Copies of this chain bind each other. A is one copy, B any other.
């Protein structure tokens, strides 16, 4: 797919500045219509800008968020820009059973935090966080607007986080989320569920549902080949 190759080129920084339709027709060896369809897709995603006479220009490059290393947003983007959080909710709640189960809570309350996370004043993700109360309650006394939860958890616990298990899905932005993230309703978002475990005991302490703008963030990872295969039929 032409759009996929161009999109990755833009993200990787290999494609920047202006795009020439005729050069793309030669490079991809496809029709003018195919190139125009691809550019329309990328334009719809906000990656390029097309105007008569002015031509086609790359306007946005996505940010990489590594899936291999467990890092907060501020740690990840420390060299990219300023992360600032708008805290919409930060309180104690009776967690849903599924959440209580994952955090090993029984009938105890959990700390619930809802934040809109901005990079240089642009909203990039809407994070819902459930924390175990022994760490979550002291965490509420700290500055949640300027700090990653991960860093605060490690300071309060006095030990480092160990690992997180994650799932990634693509979802359509519901109207509420779309408004918060300043994207169109129905826009594709990445949804990351992340259960983070603390210290040598690997205790689950932090369960997050992170909705990321896919026009601004892409996830990056590495996989190792582990299995020995049988020859195919």
- A residues in contact (CB < 8 Å) with B: 1-9, 11, 14-15, 27-29, 37, 41, 44-45, 62, 64, 66-71, 75, 93-94, 96-99, 101, 128, 142-143, 146-148, 150-152, 154-155, 160-172, 174, 186-191, 193-194, 209, 214, 218-233
Contacts and interface: CB of A to CB of B under 8 A. Distances in A.
Contacts of A14: 98, 101
B167 A8 contact: yes
A229 B214 CA distance: 28
A11 B165 CA distance: 14
Per DSSP, chain A at the interface is mixed
B9 A69 contact: no
Contacts of A67: 67, 168, 221, 223
A196 to B, nearest CB: 8
Contacts of A194: 223
7 contacts: A4-B209, A14-B98, A151-B230, A168-B168, A168-B219, A171-B188, A188-B188
A223 B160 contact: no
Given A171-B45, A214-B171, A225 B9 contact: no
Interface centre among A9, A164, A223 (most CB of B within 10 A): A223
A182 to B, nearest CB: 16
B188 A172 contact: yes
Contacts of A45: 171
A170 B171 CA distance: 8
Contacts of A166: 220-223
Given A66-B223, A160-B225, 15 more contacts: A2-B96, A4-B209, A8-B193, A27-B96, A69-B224, A70-B225, A71-B227, A146-B232, A151-B232, A163-B222, A163-B225, A165-B220, A167-B218, A167-B219, A170-B190
Interface centre among A15, A29, A166 (most CB of B within 10 A): A166
